[in-house]
Amino acid sequence: MAQITVLDQGTIDKIAAGEVIERPASVVKELLENAIDAKATAVTVEIRDGGISFIRVTDNGCGISKEDVPVAFLRHSTSKIKSVEDLFTVASLGFRGEALSSIAAVSQVELITKTAQELSGIRYQIEGGKERSIEEIGAPEGTTFLVRNLFYNTPARQKFLKTAQTEGSHVAALVEKIAMSHPDISIRFIQNNQNRLHTSGNHNLKDIIYTVFGREIAANLLPADSSQEIMQIHGFVGKPVIARSNRNFENYYINGRYIRSSLVAKAVEEAYRPFMMQHKYPFVLLHLTVEPEYLDVNVHPTKMELRFRDGERIYEIIRQTVSDALSEKELIPQVQLNRPVKEKDTPKREQEPRPEPFEVKRQADLSYRNNPVYQAVAERQPSWNAGDKNMKGEGRESAMQAERSRDRHTASRQEPTAGGSERKQEEKQLDLFEEKLLEPKSRLRHKLIGQLFDTYWLVEFSDQLYIIDQHAAHEKILYEKTMASLKNREYTSQMVNPPIILTLGSEEEVILDRYMTYLAHMGFEIEHFGGREYAVRAVPDNLFSIAKKELLIEILDSLSDDIFKENPDMIYERVAGMSCKAAVKGNSRLSSAEADHLIDQLLELENPYACPHGRPTIISMSRRELEKKFKRIV
């Protein structure tokens, strides 16, 4: 065996640097988080060549005192903690004391800093972990880091870097995520002398979402807020119409730190499951404030992952908060018939306004009902009620439309826009007068037109055409009824004769044994039949018409996820989802009476807008859209 030796300090530092500094984005992350910990209210990040050759991070924070500057670049030097006990209550973004040491070990670093108490600033240079110079200079309060030639002394590491464009995109994504984690801080990002991002620091999270993700995302957000003893949640969840095919739009922040957490992701996705199609993932931006003693952030060198104490409780709070946010609104997708636009006749934005949510336009510090536009509209509303008896038909409708038009005009003049003049917001009909299709009081005014393609039912209501998918609607009705019966323990069993014989693999046997009690409570009667065979002698009555060997195996397969260990009640939801297989199919003719009964049942549900698989049960099309298509209006 070769002789064992102690590595020299330079090699040790480079190995340690490799644990923290993987690419230019790692450098920006550490310096940007340090700026935030320094109580900065404005930070500018500038890179060139993807950050490989040049990174500059400037902040207006508290600065570093002259005597602390050299110490700051030593390994495990930090102002965030003093002892091991502090690890369990740490609230800052950085605390390991490895960032500056690691950056300096693999690059050429220049630091310019000044505190409020000192008359002059300090300029400090360190290259490859070796101090080069320190001197006093004039400088504004705050800190500037210049990092040049990353991995210049470790060419093997440099070879693993991607192109400047790719590395720059990683930096841009990181800055955006950190900007969304701190809406109270103005963050500017400059790439190759071009402004890529600039947030105002006005505390308005929705403004930042608009800046980073654009109009479509900002127009389809629902607020999600919750306050519990151990944690508070604030942020937005996206409507299912902006779902994506990957998890890149799921953003979670815990105590101001962007993190990855399978527990949080599972809680959010479980809440979305009744609203969203399979293999689709939501847009979510949630800020979680958790008491430090419930967290272990000292899991990974980059602090991107953490562990929770009392994870089951955390999971349920998050799931319930997101579920409540999604259940608050009537989530019927609005269909628009877009006409083709000739190149020479491209309309300007002002000529073809598109609806925007009223909430995008308003300031975060103005509540909806304190808004002067709302109050003005509310004061005029009784005059319509008073005229209901005397104003009929088109005359009353014209008066209401004229009144609404004035409100839209007033709103467009009085409401502040989000994001400045470069992305001017268009006016939108306020939703103060909107009536919901599925409210019981609206039911008598539904006009059932008929069935289309033996699958879709057309309903006219309040200047809207609603299209109901009979299969998706019936799926949701069966699912909700099954869940209600399970919750209230009102289920009944149906005997199967002859019994269904299942031959299970070893993993399936483990799952069946683990959840046998829950299955029995739901109405299943299953007994061992010898070897690996099991006899199913009874099933819940709602599954009787579709009870087959394949369905029962599918139920067991669906329970293989470990998430059921944390929340066994989800077993009921999963099995209830199987009941939708008994729903009336598409291409099946129903009578008007059957369709009316289907709609009546849909009215009774808390969330009637999507089937258990996330497909919409109802979509709508406005009368205005149809009239535009037929050129009745322009």
**CA 96 to chain CA mean position, Å:** 29
Q: How far is CA 315 from CA 163, 282, 319, 320, in A?
A: 39, 17, 6, 9
So what's the pLDDT on residue 423?
A: 40
Specify the long-range contacts of residues 291-295, CB closer than 8 Å, at least 24 apart: 291/230, 291/231, 292/88, 292/89, 292/90, 292/91, 292/255, 293/88, 293/89, 294/230, 294/231, 295/254, 295/255
In a 3-state reduction of DSSP, which class is residue 166? helix
Identify the residue whose tokens are 């003693």.
Answer: 293
**CA gap 298, 93 in Å, rounded:** 11
Checking if the pLDDT of 268 tops 90, the result is yes
Nearest to 539 by CA among 505, 578, 488, 503: 578
Question: What is the three-class DSSP state of 491?
Answer: coil
Of residues 181 and 492, more confidence is placed in 181
Higher-confidence residue of 31 and 485: namely 31
Q: In one letter, which amino acid is 535?
A: A
How is residue 7 annotated by DSSP?
A: P
pLDDT for the residue 567 = 61
CA neighbor of 181 nearest in space, from 63, 93, 54, 114: 93
Measure the N-to-C terminal CA separation of the chain; round to a whole number of Å: 85
Q: Give the residue from 578, 563, 471, 475 showing the smallest Cα distance to 523.
A: 578
How far apart, in whole angstroms, are the C-alpha atoms of residue 524 and residue 516? 9
**How many Å apart are CA 349 and CA 358, to the nearest integer?**
18
Whether the CB-CB separation of 360 and 430 falls below 8 Å is answered with no
Confidence of residue 434 (pLDDT cuts 50, 70, 90): low
Kindly report, residue by residue over 135-176, the tens digit of the pLDDT.
999 999 999 999 999 999 988 888 889 999 889 989 998 999
Q: Which long-range CB contacts under 8 A does 510-516 form with residues at least 24 apart?
A: 511/556, 511/559, 511/560, 512/556, 515/559, 515/564, 515/568, 515/571
- Return the sign of the alpha-carbon dihedral for residues 459, 464, 467, 473: negative
pLDDT over 60 (residue 387): no
d(CA 101, CA 17): 8
For residue 503, is pLDDT > 60?
A: yes
- What was the pLDDT predicted at 435? 67
Query: What's the rounded Cα separation, in Å, for the pair 301 and 29?
Result: 12
Predicted pLDDT at 319: 93
Per-residue pLDDT averaged across 502-522, rounded? Answer: 82
Residue 553 clears pLDDT 60, i.e. is over it: yes
Residue 174: alpha-carbon gap to chain centroid: 16
Mean predicted confidence (pLDDT) in 432-449: 73
Asked, as a colleague might, if the bond just before 498 is cis with ω within 30 of 0, I would say yes
H, E, C per residue of 278-296:
CCCECCEEEEEEECHHHEE
Query: Is-contact 222 239, C-beta < 8 A?
Result: yes
At 605, is the pLDDT very low, low, confident or very high (cuts 50, 70, 90)?
Answer: confident
Q: CA angle 322-324-326, nearest 5°? A: 70
Q: Are 9-198 and 205-327 the same fold in CATH?
A: no
**Rounded-to-integer distance, Cα 515 and Cα 611, Å:** 26
- 45 pLDDT higher than 90: yes
| 282-286, 377-381, 578-582: segment of lowest average pLDDT | 377-381
Q: Cα(241)–Cα(576) distance, rounded to whole angstroms?
A: 25
**What mean pLDDT comes out for the span 279-292?**
90
What pTM was estimated for this model as a whole? Answer: 0.57
Q: Quickly count helices (H) and strands (E) in the chain.
A: 20, 23
Contact indicator for 168, 51 with CB cutoff of 8 Å: yes
Task: State the Cα–Cα distance between residues 549 and 8, nearest whole angstrom.
Answer: 66
The mean-pLDDT minimum among 50-54, 550-554, 574-578 falls in 574-578
List beta partners, residue 48.
54
- State how far the Cα of 100 lies from the Cα of 361, in Å rounded to an integer: 42
Instruction: Using the predicted structure, report yes or no on whether residue 19 has a pLDDT greater than 80.
Output: no
**Over 60: is that where the pLDDT of 544 sits?**
yes
Strands 464-469 and 618-622: antiparallel
Q: Is 105 buried (19+), middle (13-18) or exposed (0-12) by CB count in 10 A? A: buried
| Domain covering 205-327, topology | Ribosomal Protein S5; domain 2 (3.30.230)
Please tell me what DSSP assigns to residue 153: T
**What is the C-alpha radius of gyration for the chain, rounded to an integer number of angstroms?**
30
Q: Can you give the pLDDT at residue 585?
A: 77
Weakest-pLDDT range from 73-87, 220-234, 342-356: 342-356
Question: In percent, how much of the chain has pLDDT > 90?
Answer: 31
Tell me the per-residue pLDDT of 624-633, one tens digit each, with 9 for 90 and over. Answer: 888 888 888 8
**Look-up: residue for tokens 């570093």?**
64
3-state per-residue secondary structure call for 425-436? CCCCCCHHHCCC
Mean pLDDT of 427-436: 46
Greater pLDDT, 619 or 488: 619
Of 301 and 245, more confident: 245
Annotated domain spans of the chain:
9-198, 205-327, 356-433, 435-634
Residue 438: what pLDDT? Answer: 73
What pLDDT band is residue 402 in, cutting at 50, 70 and 90? Answer: very low
Instruction: Name, in order, each residue with C-beta under 8 angstroms of 228's C-beta and a sequence gap of 6 or more.
Output: 317
**Residues contacting residue 29 through CB under 8 Å, at least 6 positions apart:** 174, 178, 302
Asked if residue 354 has pLDDT above 50, the reply is: no
Mention every residue, 6+ apart, whose C-beta is less than 8 A from residue 589: 451, 454
Spatial distance between the Cα atoms of 532 and 254, rounded to a whole number of angstroms: 47
Task: Between 54 and 367, name the one with better pLDDT.
Answer: 54
Query: How far is 520 from 526, CA to CA, in rounded Å?
Result: 8
pLDDT in the model for residue 416: 43
Q: H helices of 73-126, where?
A: 99-105
How far apart (Å, rounded) are the C-alpha atoms in residues 251 and 138?
40
**What type of residue sits at position 280?**
K
For residue 348, what are the CA distances in angstroms to 351, 425, 521? 5, 13, 62
Mean pLDDT score of the chain, rounded to an integer? 77
Residue found by looking up tokens 């319509």 in the block: 384
CATH code for the structural domain at 9-198: 3.30.565.10
Cα–Cα distance measured from residue 453 to residue 590, given in angstroms and rounded to the nearest whole number: 11
User: Residue 95: pLDDT band by 50, 70, 90 thresholds?
Assistant: very low
Domain 435-634, CATH: 3.30.1540.20
Structure confidence at residue 600 (pLDDT): 86
pLDDT at 395: 45
Q: What is d(CA 45, CA 195) in angstroms, rounded to the nearest whole number?
A: 10
Q: What is the mean pLDDT of residues 405-417?
A: 43
d(CA 268, CA 321): 9
Mean predicted confidence (pLDDT) in 471-496: 81
